[in-house]
């Protein structure tokens, strides 16, 4: 007999898995410098930031669109999306995790990775390979 609680993913575990899926999806569209930051101990509004870059506005659109498409296919819909088509920074808010897709130059300008440097970095590639 198995413990029923052990079979049910925790909320944090589920949000982490979904953030890793978002990172994988972004990487599949040639996003650059994909990182997942665990911000649970730093802020209360979300658990993870997924940050990545595209080389052009079109690639930024493609990455953000594909992340939304992939997560919608698994029943997860964003509550908000900011940045119109052709924007240099698109934010996709899934509540438990937020995906930031930057144009390379915008990422360097805003330096979000540095702003959240105290956040532990999730080894999403290892976790994705293990799943």
- With contact defined as beta carbons under 8 Å apart, do 17 and 48 qualify? no
Task: Report pLDDT for 130.
Answer: 86
Report the pLDDT value the prediction gives residue 86, as an integer from 0 to 100. Answer: 79
pLDDT of residue 11: 58
Those residues with Cβ within 8 angstroms of residue 20's Cβ, 6 or more apart along the chain or in another chain: 36, 122, 124, 127, 128, 131
Residue of 7 and 27 predicted with greater confidence = 27
Dihedral of alpha carbons 120, 91, 15, 35, sign: negative
Q: Specify the CATH number of the domain 4-130.
A: 3.30.460.10
pTM: 0.88
């Amino acid at each position: 007999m198995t413990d029923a609680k052990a079979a049910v993913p925790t909320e944090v575990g589920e949000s982490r898995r979904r953030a890793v899926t978002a990172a994988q999806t972004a990487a599949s569209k040639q996003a650059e410098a994909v990182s997942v930051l665990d911000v649970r101990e730093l802020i209360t509004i979300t658990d993870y930031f997924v940050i990545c870059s595209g080389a052009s506005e079109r690639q930024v659109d493609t990455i953000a669109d594909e992340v939304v498409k992939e997560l919608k296919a698994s029943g997860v819909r964003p509550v908000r999306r900011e940045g119109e088509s052709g924007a240099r920074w698109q934010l996709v808010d899934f509540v438990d995790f937020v995906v930031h897709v930057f144009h390379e130059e915008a990422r360097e300008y805003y330096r979000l990775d540095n702003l959240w440097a105290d956040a532990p970095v999730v080894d999403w590639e290892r976790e994705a390979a293990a799943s």
